[in-house]
Amino acid sequence: MIDIHTHILHNCDDGSDSLELSLKQISNMIDKGVTDIVLTPHYMNSYVQTDAIIIDKQFKELQNATTDLNINLHKAGEIFLTPGVDEKISKNLCIGDSSYILVETNMGEFTPDIYETLFLLVRKGYKPILAHPERYNYIMNDPEMAEDFLHRNVYLQINAGSILGLYGSKVAKTAWYLINHGFAHFIASDNHCKVDEYILPVALEAIRDNIDDYTVNLLSEVNPKKMLNNEKIKYFYLEKQPIVKSGFFKKILNKL
Ligand SMILES: [Fe+2]
Protein backbone atom coordinates (compact mmCIF):
# COMPACT_ATOMS: atom_id res chain seq x y z
CA MET A 1 0.00 0.00 0.00
CA ILE A 2 1.30 3.44 -0.96
CA ASP A 3 -0.03 6.62 0.68
CA ILE A 4 0.49 9.62 -1.62
CA HIS A 5 -0.95 12.39 0.59
CA THR A 6 0.08 12.91 4.23
CA HIS A 7 0.94 15.67 6.70
CA ILE A 8 3.40 13.57 8.67
CA LEU A 9 6.48 15.69 8.04
CA HIS A 10 6.96 17.28 11.46
CA ASN A 11 6.68 21.00 12.25
CA CYS A 12 5.84 22.13 8.71
CA ASP A 13 2.11 22.76 8.74
CA ASP A 14 -1.08 21.75 10.59
CA GLY A 15 0.00 18.09 10.61
CA SER A 16 2.52 16.43 12.92
CA ASP A 17 3.91 18.78 15.57
CA SER A 18 6.86 16.62 16.64
CA LEU A 19 9.35 14.09 15.32
CA GLU A 20 8.10 11.61 17.95
CA LEU A 21 4.52 11.85 16.69
CA SER A 22 5.69 11.38 13.07
CA LEU A 23 7.63 8.26 14.04
CA LYS A 24 4.64 6.86 15.94
CA GLN A 25 2.36 7.40 12.92
CA ILE A 26 4.90 5.91 10.51
CA SER A 27 5.33 2.80 12.64
CA ASN A 28 1.53 2.41 12.78
CA MET A 29 1.36 2.73 8.99
CA ILE A 30 4.09 0.11 8.51
CA ASP A 31 2.10 -2.27 10.73
CA LYS A 32 -0.90 -1.73 8.44
CA GLY A 33 1.11 -2.64 5.33
CA VAL A 34 2.27 0.73 3.99
CA THR A 35 5.53 0.52 2.02
CA ASP A 36 5.83 4.11 0.74
CA ILE A 37 4.72 7.42 2.20
CA VAL A 38 4.63 10.68 0.25
CA LEU A 39 5.08 13.66 2.58
CA THR A 40 2.97 16.56 1.36
CA PRO A 41 3.06 19.57 3.71
CA HIS A 42 0.82 22.49 2.69
CA TYR A 43 2.65 24.80 0.38
CA MET A 44 1.38 28.34 -0.18
CA ASN A 45 2.52 30.71 -2.88
CA SER A 46 3.56 33.45 -0.49
CA TYR A 47 5.90 31.27 1.59
CA VAL A 48 7.57 29.34 -1.20
CA GLN A 49 11.16 30.21 -0.33
CA THR A 50 10.89 29.58 3.38
CA ASP A 51 8.80 26.46 2.95
CA ALA A 52 11.22 24.89 0.50
CA ILE A 53 14.05 25.27 2.99
CA ILE A 54 11.99 24.01 5.92
CA ILE A 55 10.65 21.01 3.97
CA ASP A 56 14.17 19.99 2.88
CA LYS A 57 15.54 20.28 6.41
CA GLN A 58 12.66 18.39 8.05
CA PHE A 59 12.74 15.70 5.38
CA LYS A 60 16.43 14.97 6.02
CA GLU A 61 15.77 14.79 9.75
CA LEU A 62 12.86 12.35 9.32
CA GLN A 63 14.81 10.23 6.86
CA ASN A 64 17.72 9.95 9.30
CA ALA A 65 15.32 8.92 12.07
CA THR A 66 13.74 6.16 9.95
CA THR A 67 16.83 4.48 8.46
CA ASP A 68 16.16 1.32 10.52
CA LEU A 69 12.49 1.15 9.51
CA ASN A 70 11.11 -0.71 6.54
CA ILE A 71 9.61 2.33 4.81
CA ASN A 72 10.32 4.52 1.79
CA LEU A 73 9.72 8.24 2.27
CA HIS A 74 9.18 10.61 -0.65
CA LYS A 75 9.33 14.39 -0.40
CA ALA A 76 6.67 16.62 -2.00
CA GLY A 77 4.18 19.35 -1.08
CA GLU A 78 0.46 20.03 -1.35
CA ILE A 79 0.49 23.10 -3.55
CA PHE A 80 -2.36 25.58 -3.15
CA LEU A 81 -3.36 26.75 -6.62
CA THR A 82 -3.22 30.52 -6.98
CA PRO A 83 -2.47 32.59 -10.07
CA GLY A 84 1.29 32.75 -10.57
CA VAL A 85 2.14 29.66 -8.51
CA ASP A 86 3.50 28.03 -11.69
CA GLU A 87 6.25 30.69 -11.69
CA LYS A 88 7.16 30.09 -8.07
CA ILE A 89 7.43 26.34 -7.80
CA SER A 90 10.30 24.19 -8.97
CA LYS A 91 11.24 20.53 -9.29
CA ASN A 92 11.78 20.26 -5.53
CA LEU A 93 8.00 20.27 -4.97
CA CYS A 94 7.41 17.30 -7.26
CA ILE A 95 6.60 13.93 -5.72
CA GLY A 96 9.96 12.22 -5.21
CA ASP A 97 11.90 12.17 -8.47
CA SER A 98 8.79 12.30 -10.64
CA SER A 99 7.13 15.24 -12.37
CA TYR A 100 3.82 14.58 -10.58
CA ILE A 101 2.65 17.32 -8.20
CA LEU A 102 -0.16 17.29 -5.63
CA VAL A 103 -2.35 20.42 -5.83
CA GLU A 104 -5.40 21.72 -4.00
CA THR A 105 -7.87 24.56 -4.57
CA ASN A 106 -10.15 26.60 -2.34
CA MET A 107 -13.10 24.64 -0.96
CA GLY A 108 -15.77 27.03 -2.18
CA GLU A 109 -16.56 28.37 -5.62
CA PHE A 110 -14.87 27.48 -8.85
CA THR A 111 -12.87 30.31 -10.41
CA PRO A 112 -11.53 30.20 -13.99
CA ASP A 113 -7.96 30.87 -12.79
CA ILE A 114 -7.95 27.25 -11.48
CA TYR A 115 -8.03 25.92 -15.06
CA GLU A 116 -5.61 28.62 -16.26
CA THR A 117 -3.04 27.80 -13.58
CA LEU A 118 -3.38 24.05 -14.19
CA PHE A 119 -2.91 24.64 -17.92
CA LEU A 120 0.34 26.54 -17.29
CA LEU A 121 1.60 23.80 -14.94
CA VAL A 122 0.85 21.08 -17.52
CA ARG A 123 2.55 23.16 -20.23
CA LYS A 124 5.66 23.28 -18.03
CA GLY A 125 5.76 19.48 -17.85
CA TYR A 126 4.20 18.92 -14.43
CA LYS A 127 1.58 16.19 -13.97
CA PRO A 128 -0.94 17.63 -11.50
CA ILE A 129 -2.95 15.46 -9.14
CA LEU A 130 -5.91 17.30 -7.63
CA ALA A 131 -6.24 16.45 -3.92
CA HIS A 132 -9.68 15.55 -2.54
CA PRO A 133 -11.93 16.96 -5.32
CA GLU A 134 -14.93 15.43 -3.52
CA ARG A 135 -14.51 18.01 -0.74
CA TYR A 136 -14.83 21.07 -2.99
CA ASN A 137 -18.28 22.66 -3.17
CA TYR A 138 -18.05 23.17 -6.91
CA ILE A 139 -17.50 19.42 -7.48
CA MET A 140 -20.11 18.37 -4.90
CA ASN A 141 -22.66 20.59 -6.66
CA ASP A 142 -21.67 19.32 -10.11
CA PRO A 143 -19.76 15.99 -9.86
CA GLU A 144 -19.69 15.65 -13.65
CA MET A 145 -17.27 18.56 -13.65
CA ALA A 146 -14.62 16.09 -12.43
CA GLU A 147 -14.47 14.74 -15.97
CA ASP A 148 -13.33 18.17 -17.21
CA PHE A 149 -10.23 17.89 -15.05
CA LEU A 150 -9.33 14.55 -16.65
CA HIS A 151 -9.71 16.09 -20.11
CA ARG A 152 -7.29 18.79 -18.94
CA ASN A 153 -4.60 16.23 -17.96
CA VAL A 154 -5.30 16.42 -14.24
CA TYR A 155 -5.50 13.29 -12.06
CA LEU A 156 -7.83 13.01 -9.06
CA GLN A 157 -7.03 11.77 -5.54
CA ILE A 158 -9.84 10.83 -3.14
CA ASN A 159 -9.44 10.97 0.66
CA ALA A 160 -9.99 7.79 2.69
CA GLY A 161 -12.08 9.76 5.20
CA SER A 162 -14.42 10.91 2.44
CA ILE A 163 -15.15 7.31 1.46
CA LEU A 164 -16.04 6.52 5.07
CA GLY A 165 -18.28 9.55 5.54
CA LEU A 166 -15.99 11.45 7.92
CA TYR A 167 -16.57 14.78 6.15
CA GLY A 168 -20.34 14.37 5.87
CA SER A 169 -22.81 12.69 3.56
CA LYS A 170 -22.48 15.04 0.56
CA VAL A 171 -18.70 14.53 0.43
CA ALA A 172 -19.14 10.75 0.83
CA LYS A 173 -21.70 10.63 -1.95
CA THR A 174 -19.39 12.62 -4.25
CA ALA A 175 -16.39 10.41 -3.42
CA TRP A 176 -18.31 7.23 -4.28
CA TYR A 177 -19.64 8.85 -7.46
CA LEU A 178 -16.10 9.71 -8.60
CA ILE A 179 -14.77 6.20 -7.91
CA ASN A 180 -17.80 4.52 -9.41
CA HIS A 181 -17.47 6.53 -12.64
CA GLY A 182 -13.74 5.83 -13.02
CA PHE A 183 -12.74 9.45 -12.33
CA ALA A 184 -10.48 8.60 -9.36
CA HIS A 185 -6.81 7.67 -9.80
CA PHE A 186 -5.60 7.51 -6.19
CA ILE A 187 -6.90 6.98 -2.65
CA ALA A 188 -4.82 8.49 0.15
CA SER A 189 -5.13 9.22 3.86
CA ASP A 190 -4.44 13.01 4.00
CA ASN A 191 -3.27 11.97 7.49
CA HIS A 192 -2.89 15.06 9.71
CA CYS A 193 -1.76 12.98 12.74
CA LYS A 194 -4.76 14.09 14.80
CA VAL A 195 -5.97 10.58 15.65
CA ASP A 196 -4.15 7.31 16.29
CA GLU A 197 -6.28 5.25 13.92
CA TYR A 198 -4.94 4.97 10.38
CA ILE A 199 -7.99 4.76 8.12
CA LEU A 200 -6.62 4.14 4.63
CA PRO A 201 -6.90 0.31 4.97
CA VAL A 202 -10.47 0.68 6.28
CA ALA A 203 -11.46 2.77 3.24
CA LEU A 204 -9.78 0.27 0.90
CA GLU A 205 -11.75 -2.58 2.48
CA ALA A 206 -14.98 -0.62 1.92
CA ILE A 207 -14.06 -0.27 -1.77
CA ARG A 208 -13.09 -3.96 -1.97
CA ASP A 209 -16.41 -5.01 -0.41
CA ASN A 210 -18.54 -2.74 -2.57
CA ILE A 211 -16.70 -2.43 -5.87
CA ASP A 212 -13.84 -4.87 -6.48
CA ASP A 213 -10.20 -5.89 -5.84
CA TYR A 214 -9.15 -4.41 -9.16
CA THR A 215 -10.15 -0.87 -8.13
CA VAL A 216 -8.45 -1.20 -4.74
CA ASN A 217 -5.23 -2.37 -6.35
CA LEU A 218 -5.35 0.29 -9.05
CA LEU A 219 -5.86 3.21 -6.66
CA SER A 220 -3.54 2.16 -3.85
CA GLU A 221 -0.73 0.22 -5.62
CA VAL A 222 -0.66 0.27 -9.42
CA ASN A 223 -1.16 4.00 -10.05
CA PRO A 224 0.96 5.17 -7.07
CA LYS A 225 3.84 2.92 -8.25
CA LYS A 226 3.59 4.33 -11.77
CA MET A 227 3.56 7.82 -10.30
CA LEU A 228 6.73 7.19 -8.26
CA ASN A 229 8.42 5.79 -11.39
CA ASN A 230 7.22 8.83 -13.35
CA GLU A 231 5.31 6.60 -15.76
CA LYS A 232 2.20 7.83 -17.50
CA ILE A 233 -1.16 6.88 -15.98
CA LYS A 234 -4.32 6.64 -18.07
CA TYR A 235 -6.76 9.48 -17.39
CA PHE A 236 -9.73 7.38 -18.52
CA TYR A 237 -9.54 3.71 -17.60
CA LEU A 238 -13.02 2.40 -16.96
CA GLU A 239 -14.37 0.10 -19.64
CA LYS A 240 -17.24 -1.25 -17.65
CA GLN A 241 -18.92 0.66 -14.86
CA PRO A 242 -18.53 -1.14 -11.52
CA ILE A 243 -21.65 -1.63 -9.46
CA VAL A 244 -21.83 -0.54 -5.84
CA LYS A 245 -23.76 -3.18 -3.91
CA SER A 246 -27.18 -1.93 -2.93
CA GLY A 247 -27.63 -0.81 0.63
CA PHE A 248 -23.97 -0.03 1.24
CA PHE A 249 -24.17 3.71 0.80
CA LYS A 250 -27.26 3.84 2.98
CA LYS A 251 -25.31 1.92 5.66
CA ILE A 252 -22.45 4.48 5.48
CA LEU A 253 -24.90 7.40 5.73
CA ASN A 254 -26.67 5.87 8.70
CA LYS A 255 -23.40 5.95 10.62
CA LEU A 256 -23.00 9.74 10.12
FE1 LIG B 1 -3.70 17.60 2.65
Q: Nearest-CA neighbor of 10 among 218, 203, 208, 193?
A: 193
Q: How far is the CA of 40 from the centre of ligand 1 (A)?
A: 7
Q: pLDDT category, 224, cuts 50, 70, 90?
A: very high
Distance (angstroms) between ligand 1 centre and the Cα of 239 equals 30
Q: How far is the CA of 246 from the centre of ligand 1 (A)?
A: 31
Q: How far is the CA of 151 from the centre of ligand 1 (A)?
A: 24
Select from 179, 169, 175, 177 the least CA-distant residue to 254. 169
Amino acid at 143: P
Whether the per-residue pLDDT at 243 is higher than 80: the answer is no
Q: Contact 119/152 with Cβ under 8 angstroms? A: yes
Q: What would the mean pLDDT of 112-117 be, rounded to a whole number?
A: 96
Distance 240 CA to ligand 1 centre (A): 31
Range of 128's domain? Answer: 2-254
> Cα of 53 to ligand 1 centre, how many Å?
19
The answer to whether residue 155 scores a pLDDT higher than 90 is yes
- Could you give the number of structural domains in the chain? 1
Ligand 1 mean position, distance from CA 160 (Å) = 12
14 burial (CB, 10 Å; 0-12 / 13-18 / 19+) is exposed
* CA 9–ligand 1 middle distance (angstroms): 12
Cα-to-centroid distance, 234 and ligand 1 (Å) = 23
- In the reported structure, the alpha carbon of residue 167 is separated from the centroid of ligand 1 by a whole-number distance in angstroms of 14
- Cα 249 to averaged position of ligand 1 atoms, centre (Å): 25
Average pLDDT over residues 147-170: 97
Mean model confidence pLDDT for the chain? 92
Distance (Å, rounded) from C-alpha 41 to C-alpha 126?
18
Does position 47 have pLDDT exceeding 60, yes or no? no
pLDDT of the residue at 246: 58
- How far does the centroid of ligand 1 lie from the alpha carbon of residue 247, in Å? 30
C-alpha 46 to ligand 1 mean position (Å): 18
- Count Cβ neighbours within 10 Å for each residue of 168-179 and write b for 16 or more, e otherwise: eeebbbbbbbbb
The helix-helix angle for 19-31 and 48-65 (nearest 10°) equals 60
Gap from CA of 43 to ligand 1 centroid (Å): 10
Q: pTM here?
A: 0.93
Angle at 57 between CA 52 and CA 63, to 5 degrees: 120
CA nearest neighbour of 78 among 1, 184, 7? 7
Distance 171 CA to ligand 1 centre (A): 15
Which amino acid, 182?
Answer: G
Q: How confident is the model at residue 254 (pLDDT cuts 50, 70, 90)?
A: low
Q: What is the CATH number of the domain that holds 193?
A: 3.20.20.140
Q: What residues does 6 pair with on adjacent strands? A: 39, 191
Which range, of 21-25, 47-51, 171-175, 231-235, averages the lowest pLDDT? 47-51
Q: Which of 192, 234, 228 is nearest to 36 (CA)?
A: 228
Comparing CA positions, the residue from 189, 228, 2 lying closest to residue 99 is 228
